[in-house]
Amino acid sequence: MENISGTKRNTLAKVGVTVTLLVILGVGAWIGSTNFAGIPKNLNDMYASVISLTKTFKGAETLILEVPNLSVSSGQTITLSWKHENKSGEGEYVFTYGCTDGIVLELKETSGGKNATLACDEKLLLPNDATSASFIVTSKKNRYGSIPVTLTFIKNGSEENPLSASAMIMVANESLSNSRDGILGTTKASGTATKSATPTTPPKKTGAVAVKPAPVDPKAGTKTENTYLISGTTAGASETGKPDLAAKIIEVGVIDKITNEFMSTTTLHSTDRIAVRFEVINLGNKTSSDWYFNAVLPTFPNHIFTSDSQGALAPNDRIEFTLGFDKIENKNGNIFTINIDPTGYLPDVTRDNNIVKYTINGVIF
């Protein structure tokens, strides 16, 4: 082989270094100038985790009590039915009616059994799947009287913020005199039965009584999906009372990387796109302004995800989010944290419910 002088070897070495640098710079320039959704903005992000965010607006949970006639004659049956919109969980319904002297309700057995007398202010438990109940109304003292009826839904495991709807029912007994002391048409003075020659029955009314108005915009059930790279995502930032946004973890699972569908499971692998479902609900009595949230993700390295600006929530409106992420840190006891309104911009009733944490254990690496 021909000998190469030291000067030539140095020259070739310098040329080799120059060529190598050009190749690296060329690759960097190609990556920087090519707009691929899957290519990060810089080489440090080549192995960045991917975040997927799905949200579904649920609207206010509403209980509507439907009364076919707001007035009824003594001895007649009245059927109360209800609709439970945007129901957030299982539970039981509780029916009560207020005490009015001489008026009694009996629960009518539809299966042919014996009717059950229900005392005023006594709680009647109705099953989770019930949508109606029939009662026989009897008035034994006054010609006209009224009773308030209330239906309350209590969610399993929680008696906080029960949902209820009420209505006032007029009860008429044409056989009684106008005297408030009359019992079955008998007056104190004569002890003889009397009946009005020209009975006047109050006009019948129909209607449905709702506790909360259903939201108009956006429509309940509207689903929005977004996928983000873990780096470079930032957020934008007359009633009485205050809003009160509260966060709650619902469940953990995985998101299919092809279909973006969530599946609830506790069997998690480090190669999965692990996801956490959580909700944000306005427990206050005033509509919030726009807001956002931060999520501290247990990735390696750890990352704080900042959501886009979220729309205002009316009282009892809620949004369900599904937040998925790749590359969970290789350890047990990873902590997922949600922080609603991290800057404290909203005048919430309390900030104690703005932050929730969930510990993810048992990931298979």
Q: What's the domain count of the chain?
A: 2
| Confidence label for 86 from pLDDT (cuts 50, 70 and 90) | confident
| Confidence label for 343 from pLDDT (cuts 50, 70 and 90) | very high
**CATH number of the domain that residue 261 is part of:** 2.60.40.10
Residues 146-185 have pLDDT tens digits of 889 999 998 887 776 688 888 888 888 878 765 444 333 3
Q: Tell whether 266 and 162 lie within a shared domain.
A: no
Q: Tell whether 74 and 206 lie within a shared domain.
A: yes
**CATH number of the domain that residue 113 is part of:** 2.60.40.2410
Residues 200-237 have pLDDT tens digits of 333 333 334 443 333 444 555 556 666 555 543 333 33
Average the pLDDT over 337-353 and give the result: 95
Average the pLDDT over 266-286 and give the result: 93
Last residue of a domain, one of 160, 183, 210: 210
Is 19 among the domain residues?
no
- What pLDDT does 191 receive? 33
Structural domain that includes position 233:
36-59+215-360
Q: What is the mean pLDDT of the chain?
A: 74
Question: Looking at the predicted structure, is the pLDDT value of residue 96 above 60?
Answer: yes
Q: Tell whether 219 and 348 lie within a shared domain.
A: yes
Q: Tell whether 81 and 128 lie within a shared domain.
A: yes
Q: pTM surpassing 0.75?
A: no
- What pLDDT does 170 receive? 84
Lowest mean pLDDT among 124-133, 136-145, 198-207, 281-290: 198-207
Q: Tell whether 234 and 281 lie within a shared domain.
A: yes
Average the pLDDT over 22-29 and give the result: 31
Q: Tell whether 112 and 203 lie within a shared domain.
A: yes
Q: Tell whether 222 and 143 lie within a shared domain.
A: no
- What pLDDT does 61 receive? 79
Question: Looking at the predicted structure, is the pLDDT value of residue 37 above 60?
Answer: no
Three-class SS string for the chain?
Answer: CCCCCHHHHHHHHHHHHHHHHHHHHHHHHHHHHCCCCCCCCCHHHCCCCEEEEEEEECCCCEEEEEECCCEEECCCEEEEEEEEECCCCCEEEEEEECCCCCEEEEECCCCCCCCEEECCCCCEEECCCCCEEEEEEEECCCCEEEEEEEEEEEECCCCCCCEEEEEEEEEECCCCCCCCCCECCECCCCCCECCCCCCCCCCCCCEEEECCCCCCCCCCCCEEEEEEECCCCCCCCCCCCCCCEEEEEEEEEEECCCCCCEEECCCCECCCCEEEEEEEEECCCCCCCCECEEEEECECCCEEEECCCECCCCCCCEEEEEEEECCECCCCCEEEEEEECCCCCCCCCCCCCCEEEEEECCCEC
Q: Tell whether 130 and 165 lie within a shared domain.
A: yes
Q: Tell whether 47 and 89 lie within a shared domain.
A: no
